[in-house]
A and B are shown apart, each in its own frame.
Chain A
Amino acid sequence: MSLHRSGVISGVGETRYSKVSGKSVLALHLEASLAAISDAGLSPKDIDGVIPYAGLGTIAEDYVINFGIEDLRFSAHTPLGGASPIAAVQCALAAVSSGICRHVLIPLARNGSSGGRISSLMEEAPQFRAVGEFELPIGAFAPAQLYAPMARRHMELYGTTSQHFAEVAVTTRQHAILNGRAMMTKPMTLDDHQASRMIADPLRLFDCSLESDGGAALVVSRADCARDLRQPPITVLGIAEGHPDSPTAITQRADLVHIGLDKAAPRAFAMAGVSHDDIDVAEIYDCFTYVVIRQLEALGFCARGEGGPFVASGALRLDGALPNNTHGGLLSQAHIGGLNHIVELVRQLRGEAGAAQVKEAKVGLVTGYGDMGDGSIAIMARA
């Protein structure tokens, strides 16, 4: 038994992405959810499962009372930071394919710009307990600081450079400009990246993702319940989550550049039964430019240590070998915890991606990355 083709993404939705939403986080969750449910051609009362994002303040009961759901049959949390949305899809597929429920809602919304920043959540979340006790007091506060030593070691071991990081930032910005919903619409050059101020060496401002207000949501449906819905269903060929060694403290990890996706990616490709050449489009979690480079290696698109030259070849551009983050990613569209990456992959596979549409995109992959390097991956295709 496997989750291969065990369910579909039947609907996706987004709110507007902005610096100040003027709405509550719950309202953003509900607005994005309604958009996804409507996109699928469902009624809110059809939702019988929900996986709220752990730590952003909404609970399954919020959806029951706002949607008037009479018999919610399934709820869960998948607390893997930015790897959560894909881990939630995996959880939802298990729920629908085993017959627990039919339509699982997965929402994620934040006032990440006008409200609390991720760094301010770190002192409270249980997954940051070790870092909170031992690394905050010595001056390590933000994700940029926690990931910077991974990037520095990669640079020292393999010759990866800040110019490689710049290629990721510039390409992602170009795609954001084509997207139409992105927060960042001003062209960026390699020089602009190099001139941006240092945040946590080696990570510059333009290596860092945005802080955003907004929300996105999707609906996972049992395959036989999605045949007559509004949109062509997008099926999941392969899916996996992976937890890195020393999952609560990067500094204690024997191999400092190892990430959870190193474990998850081979499992997802094996389940999907596709090769790397079959992947037409990718949406790779991009909280920081370096994290994209390391994931490309973990995914097997290049050997370990060769992520820098791989991106420098132009592979990630719309006309490249692996068009990536065609919506502008967390770096330039909005930081919606990677749920916006799944939304974009679904749109690409439906052929709805507008100016950034990859021609004849039939098979694509999306990744998540969170907390201390948790990883997740889904490989999808039109059903």
Chain B
Amino acid sequence: MNIDSLPARPRPTPTEESQGYWQALREHRLAFQQCADCGKLRHYPRPMCDACWSMKSIWFESSGQGTVVSWTVAHHPFHLAFKSQTPYALVTVELEDGVRMHAPWRGTVESLTLDLPVRVVFEGVEDGLTLPAFVAA
């Protein structure tokens, strides 16, 4: 089994905890899980707050503003569905709300530096699937 032979773009399989995140993206909103008891934000979505062990959560709407923590540029076509896009950059972003995201970079690689201010954008890539990406703020 070689991943290069799998042609379909990998799609997320939302869980009970994460479906609110994916639904918000479809509505061009960025939403993170927030503990309904102590208020702590968390990402990626999961059942329990690690600060107070509450299993109740609500959705916090993020500003989508943040700064660059790191990045990488994929040159090797790791997956057939992304072959035509290589080389493509992915950025790790610290949002001002305190959680992290990893998403495609829509800008030049040369412009990337640590702590560069960025903001989220929303890209409809396939039926029912909207993914985040980042541009310079």
Contacts and interface: CB of A to CB of B under 8 A. Distances in A.
Interface stretch (A64-72, A115-123, A307-315): A115-123
Nearest to A197: B75
A139 B109 CA distance: 16
Nearest to A120: B3
B10 A115 contact: no
B44 interface: yes
Contact of A157 (B71, B75, B102, B114): B114
Contact of A251 (B101, B104, B132): B101
B12 A137 contact: yes
A137 B75 contact: no
A137 B90 contact: no
B102 A150 contact: no
Contacts of B109: 201
B92 interface: yes
Nearest to A248: B44
A156 to B, nearest CB: 5
B75 A201 contact: yes
A149 B76 contact: no
Contacts of B88: 139
A302 interface: no
A130 B44 contact: yes
Interface string B77-112: 011001001011010100000011111100001000
Interface in A126-145: 130, 132-142, 144-145
Nearest to A134: B44
Contact of B10 (A136, A197, A256): A136
**Chain A: interface size category:** 35 or more
Nearest to A157: B114
Most chain B CB inside 10 Å of its own CB: which residue of A130, A141, A198: A141
B57 to A, nearest CB: 16
Contacts of A276: none
Contacts of A135: 102
Given A144-B76, A150-B70, A200-B74, A134 B15 contact: no
Interface string A228-244: 00000000000000000
Most chain A CB inside 10 Å of its own CB: which residue of B69, B79, B88, B102: B102
A195 to B, nearest CB: 14
A133 B12 contact: yes
Contacts of B74: 139-140, 145, 200-201
A252 B18 contact: no
Contacts of A200: 72-76, 78
Interface of A: 115-117, 119-120, 123, 130, 132-142, 144-145, 148-150, 152-153, 156-157, 197-202, 248-249, 251-252, 256
Given A197-B76, A201-B72, 5 more contacts: A136-B12, A198-B76, A199-B76, A201-B73, A252-B99
